[in-house]
A and B are shown apart, each in its own frame.
Chain A
Amino acid sequence: MSRKPYQRELPKTTWFLRHARYKKYMLHEISAFAVAVYLLILIIGLFRLGQGEEAWAGWLSFVTSPFGLILHLIIFGLSLVHTTAWFKAVPQAMRVQRGEQFVPGPTIVGAHYVVWAAVSVFVLILAGVA
């Protein structure tokens, strides 16, 4: 008997709309983009600082303008998505075995949050905010 297997294609651009978990994945991917955009904004800030007081003041007024503030909020939200998603995934990528047991996932994730908080406080102190 001759065979005639039927091949179903995955739609190249809309595949991620098919399931909630794929949409979540896309959100994680987009969040990486937001982090990159913020890095760019910071680098431009540094560059403007190097160009003198007036250039710096211009950059500062951009980031503190209503548009700048909204941008900050959006990027902050997406950065949180990004951070929590990757912290959650760490125990999968990094297993720590002690004897016959693995260090529990929540301990590893928790340690990441502790370090994150410590670094944030340190940066805030450096910035003279805390």
Chain B
Amino acid sequence: MSERTIELEVLRYRPEQDSEPWFQTYKVSCPEEWVVLDALNYVKDELDRTLSYRWSCHMFVCGSCGMVIDGEPKLACKAFLRDYGNRIRIEPLANFPIERDLVIVMDDFMEKLESVKPYLIPKEEKSIDQGEYLQTPAQLKAYKQYSMCINCMLCYSACPQYGLAPEFIGPAALALAHRYNMDSRDVGRKAREDTVASHEGIWECSFVGACSEVCPKSVDPAGAIQQVKLTSAIDYFTSWLPGGGSR
């Protein structure tokens, strides 16, 4: 197994000691097969127990280990060391407050996620005895891509709009709203509209497209937002037509 010494420049912030973040360098001899998360785990286990970061599954599923690696929002478990040089800069996700070291405060994201009602709102509630809400493969296909989101927040870290206007609901939450709107079993589009089609919602997006470029699950939140813009613009104009809505 070939090994290489890599210098990890890790952003540290210890709220009880530090007034602002600073970089600490760790030298680690790393097998090429490692991902950045392995290197961080080595630091934590062998060099410095005080280093804090989130992780869980180590296989791109849990969405916990999002961080900015050499300027790019990445899952640390998906960032292979073979793709990096001998110095790697590791920072917490951008656009979120830093709780400690690489751990960010995600309350804002959780609130926004909740605000779009990201759950099935069926036309009629069915009891379990009445069976499933059926759906064809084509109906599933319509939204499946948007249901792959693992809430890793890389898209929020990449989105300059969220950084500049923190009230923006943001890519993942809007993509998730779209996921339910596109679901044949769901009738909640109207219930979500006040939040989704507001100024803080889709209209805050200027289609930089960075969210889709960094998304590790190819959700394409930017695409979802543009699609919602299209339907909501069509809604608006048809509401002015005779018999078209309540305006």
Residues of A within 8 A of B (CB): 1, 3-8, 10, 12, 15-16, 18-19, 21-22, 25, 29, 89, 91-95, 97, 99-102
Contact = CB atoms under 8 A, between A and B. Distances in A.
B148 interface: no
Contact of A10 (B99, B141, B163): B163
B98 A8 contact: yes
A6 B163 contact: no
B99, B208, B229 interface centre (most CB from chain A within 10 Å): B208
Interface in B206-230: 206-210, 212-213, 220, 222-223, 226-227, 229-230
A3, A8, A100 interface centre (most CB from chain B within 10 Å): A8
B142 A97 contact: yes
Contacts of A29: 206
A89 B212 CA distance: 11
A100 B140 CA distance: 9
A66 to B, nearest CB: 36
Nearest to B95: A10
Given A4-B15, A92-B212, A100-B137, A22 B98 contact: no
Contact of B230 (A15, A91, A94): A94
A5 B99 contact: yes
A93 B164 contact: no
Interface residues of B, number: 33
Given A5-B97, A21-B213, A99-B138, A10 B223 contact: no
29 contacts: A3-B15, A3-B99, A5-B15, A5-B98, A5-B99, A6-B13, A6-B15, A6-B21, A6-B97, A7-B97, A7-B98, A8-B21, A10-B95, A10-B164, A19-B210, A22-B208, A25-B209, A29-B206, A89-B209, A91-B223, A92-B223, A93-B223, A93-B226, A93-B230, A94-B227, A95-B223, A97-B141, A97-B142, A101-B141
A101 to B, nearest CB: 8
Contacts of A3: 15, 99
B231 to A, nearest CB: 11
Please name the 3 residue pairs, one residue from A and one from B, whose CB atoms are nearest each other, closest first: A92-B223, A93-B226, A10-B163
B122 interface: no
A16 B21 CA distance: 22
A100 B141 contact: yes
B20 interface: yes
Interface in B75-114: 94-95, 97-99, 105
Nearest to B221: A92
Contacts of A10: 94-95, 160, 163-164
A85 to B, nearest CB: 10
